[in-house]
Amino acid sequence: MKQSEEKNNAGGPARFLRTASFWALIVLIPLAIFQVMDTSRQVEKELTYSEFRAQLDADNVMKVTITEGVRVEGELRRALQENGIEIDHFNTLLPTEASQELLDQLEERGVEVEAKEAAANWVNYLVSVLPWILIIGLWFFFFRQMQTGGSRAFSFGKSKAKLLSGDTPKVTFADVAGADEAKEDLKEIIEFLKDPAKFRRLGGRLPKGALLVGPPGTGKTLLARAVAGEAGRPFFSMSGSDFVEMFVGVGASRVRDLFEQGKAHAPCIIFIDEIDAVGRHRGAGLGGGHDEREQTLNQLLVEMDGFESNEGVILLAATNRPDVLDPALLRPGRFDRQIVVDNPDVKGREGILKVHVKDIPLGDDVNLKILAKGTPGLSGADLANIVNEAALLAARYDKDRVYMDDFEAAKDKVMLGAERKSMVLSEDERRVTAFHEAGHAVVALRVPGLDPLHKVTIVPRGRALGITASLPEEDRHNYTKEWLEGQLTMLFGGRVAEETIFGRSKITTGAGNDIERATALARRMVTQFGMSDAIGPMAVGDQEHEIFLGRELSQRRDVSDQTAQLVDSEVKRILDGAYASAERVLTENRSLLDDIANALLERETLDADDIRLLEAGEPLPPLPPADGPPPAPALGPGPAEESSAADDRPLEGTGGEPTPALA
């Protein structure tokens, strides 16, 4: 790498001198031409024919040159004075070709006469030819640039990869938490680069590629930056979209140039972020627009493991869409390792929070373990956002430190949405919303197996007019049928509460998102999870979808009409059962429903402690004075704080919080 830098440094001054010389010539040559023309204008004068005859009659003409019989250029015996300048040469244009009379007069006065043909006018010739020379020159210049590179502005076929230099801020594995297995795999690759003999003594070979796979925000790019900081070897980074260009063949050319640079700096690491932009499955496009991308992918496959191997070049790539990548790209020999970077568990979340709060002054009441337990399913980017929001919130209130209530408020903002305090609801809407959320809360309290309630509020957040949030007690990776049926019952709790209190004719659109989510969950139970006795353990999949076959787009049904009808009837049976279960629960707990709804109308937000008091039939503590500080958000039901929002009352029947991801 030092040799390459020295070469670049050596070529820099020479390239600068060549460029400076070129532009100097461009500027100086026209100046010189104009100077010569200007000088000639100072010693030569254009005379009219009458003035020429006057000088001839005065015997002041010493020599003339007649060109084509009409153009006379001559020299005077005595210079003329004009504006302080001596003029001793002249030229004039005869009205007709030189007559014998004029020649006789010139001979009588002893004037030396010379006749010659018209010389080629190089100035006019150059003016007429110069545009064509410029066009041909520019075309040739662009063609050379596309073929061989050169100036960055016209290097279409050159790779856009950036070589990290020594002054780039370094990220190390100490700055990465929550991905221990991924770090171990990447550390082994770094050790191989630093000490290949340690692994080759038993016949091992250097991995050719490692693919980082995981949801967005889990730290794939951060891990690649840590590899760059730890490896101590040349590290090239670029995005998959950098290969895409409007010119045909440019992507393949950039792939070739990228690996040529890599081989020149071997052993080195090349990182391609979002590789799915160029590595999608071949033959999956419509029309001819995908041919350029497929050429780029073919060239990438050849460079990674083709006839000529690229020893010492490790390709590191990242994607959150491994399902769309071409199988030839994923096979061993190209990507020898697929490293999964998933959402962190509770221990990983605590480690990520510790990394992000290193430079933040914390209050004595901050407990990162409780905060980690209350943020299940969140990625590293989400946790970083929570820490940043907490710091901004503390700064807004001029605090000297960030306290636990700031983190809790930031967590609610990220997970549930920002409060919309400026949104004014009518008293009727507030009452409907309160009973709607109270219905969710009562079902969550009375149906066994559901997650503990964390917060119930009728303060609009995001697109929802109210939210009922639950926090699971531990990380959950599998979901039982009992839990799923309880979720369906809870989703219908809001609609059933509205119908119970206000009557069927007064139900609102607030349950639209609840019904949509419940229907989707019930269909997955039937078609994917095998939780229907009538269907059995059969993955039905989508009933109808579009597929691409060769050159045409067609529709195909995976199930018969009878099976599709059976699926619909099973989904309806499950939903009707959940609705009936919600009706039974709310009918049996009508007094608790009224208590929670009235408390929401009075306080707008109830935390876990308030809900436990209402469930036990005890009075709630008095509200703080109106001009006092805002109450700190609740920390949830004890140490078990995992999130699975079961919200609602979205505006116009849409929005709300998503259901927990189902493995």
Q: Tell me the catalytic residues.
A: 437
- What 3-state DSSP class applies to 73? strand
Token pair for 192:
């191989």
Sign, CA torsion 191/196/199/203:
positive
Distance between CA atoms of 466 and 510, rounded to whole angstroms? 9
Sign, CA torsion 579/584/590/593:
negative
Q: Beta strands of 336-427 (E only): which ranges?
A: 337-340
Question: What's the distance, Cα to Cα, between the start and end of the chain in Å?
Answer: 47
Least Cα distance to 93 among 120, 118, 126 occurs for 118
* CB atoms inside a 10 Å sphere around CB 648: 29
176 membership: H or E segment, kind and range = none
| Residue 76 bridge partners (DSSP) | 61
Token pair for 401:
């430190």
Residue 32's Cβ-count burial label (10 Å; 0-12, 13-18, 19+) is exposed
Token pair for 334:
């190209």
Burial call 216-228: b when 16+ CB within 10 Å, e when fewer? ebbbbbbbbbbbb
Q: CA 89 → CA 48, 83, 511, 546, distances in Å?
A: 13, 16, 102, 89
Name the amino acid, one letter, at 622: P
Least Cα distance to 645 among 495, 512, 513, 480 occurs for 513
